[in-house]
Copies of this chain bind each other. A is one copy, B any other.
Amino acid sequence: MLNTIFTHRSIRKYKPDAVAPDLLDKILEAGTRASTTGNMQVYSMIVSTGEEIRKQLWEQHFKQNMVLEAPVHITFCADLNRFEKWCRRREAEPGYRNFLWFLNAATDALLASQNVCLAAEAHGLGICYLGTAVYNADRLIEILKLPEGVIPVAAIVMGYPAENPGLTDRLPMEAVVHREKYEDYDPQRIDRLYREKESLDATRELLEMNNKPNLAQIFTDLRYTKKDNEFFSGKLIELLKKQGFLP
């Protein structure tokens, strides 16, 4: 377990080999063993292996190569639909179309997703999260035929790795861990915590290539710009409003 956790790397190149159905089922079952709000299991996992549908998904995930390459694509969804249908069938009036339950259901989906990833990696498979699942959630809903009450919150690709990258750098532990209460960051501490990341060779190459003075501006000006962030936020909020998860 610990070895699997500590050797995790996102895999972006895959062999064409399929994942055996029995193995895939076992991995999905690992997802169902994660904690879930009130044992309500308000999430769903959509497992897409067909070429045509994976191509449609690839288009929505900004055409990243690995999405075409990897034989398995799983979309993890916050899902109140099933639970509400059960309630109505039992003459119980569900009160879950609100923001609290979107968040609870998203949490269920994300904990399940992490179990699935670790189980896959324990079996020698590679995975990569697609942050883009929430960017084009509206289009994923169409492609995957998600009914009202079901919102994609994460997606992964999975398959046998065709690369063996090193571990990704992380901030020092003291950057993300606080003892007892939150200890806010002063400028000197910020400098210290980001020093190693900023002085990596990969960072220097990135700055040269993009003609930028520092790594922070790579994030704000190129990777995740305010304009894009606000555009995709707007789409998400619209979606949640339409389905009653936001007023």
Residue positions of A touching B, CB distance < 8 A: 1-6, 8, 10, 25, 28-35, 37-41, 43-50, 53, 79, 81-83, 85-87, 89-96, 98-101, 103-104, 106-107, 110-115, 117-119, 121-123, 128-129, 131, 134-135, 143-147, 150, 153-154, 167-171, 173, 175-182, 184-185, 187, 190-191, 193-194, 213-217, 219-221, 223-227, 229-230, 232-233, 236-237, 246-247
A115: chain B residues at CB < 8 Å are: 5, 114, 118
List 8 additional A-B contacts (Cβ < 8 Å) besides A32-B171, A39-B170.
Answer: A1-B5, A28-B177, A44-B177, A82-B176, A95-B224, A104-B134, A114-B115, A115-B118
**CB <8 Å contact, A119 and B2:** yes
Query: Which residues on the B side are within 8 Å of A191 (C-beta)?
Result: 89
The prevalent SS among residues of A at the interface is helix
B5 and A119 contacting across the interface, CB-CB below 8 Å: yes
Query: Quick one: which of B3, B135, B180 contacts A48, CB cutoff 8 A?
Result: B180
Q: Which chain B residue lies CB-closest to A43?
A: B176
Contacts of A96 in B (CB 8 A): 224, 229
Instruction: Give which listed residue, B79, B92, B216, B237, contacts A99 with CB less than 8 A.
Output: B237
Total identical chains: 2
> Which residues does chain B contribute within 8 Å of A224, judged by CB atoms?
38, 95-96, 101
Report the bound CA distance from A204 to B176 in whole Å. 45
In the complex, the chain B residue whose C-beta lies closest to that of A42 is B176
Residues of B within 8 A of A37 (CB): 131
- Are B220 and A93 neighbours in the complex by a CB distance under 8 Å? yes
Q: 4 tightest CB-CB pairs across the interface, nearest first?
A: A95-B226, A90-B216, A1-B1, A92-B216
Query: Once the chains are docked, how many angstroms separate the CA of A4 from the CA of B247?
Result: 40
Which among B83, B103, B168, B229 is the interface contact of A236 at CB below 8 angstroms?
Answer: B103
- Of chain B, the residue at the smallest CB distance from A224 is B38
Residue of B nearest to A232 (CB): B100
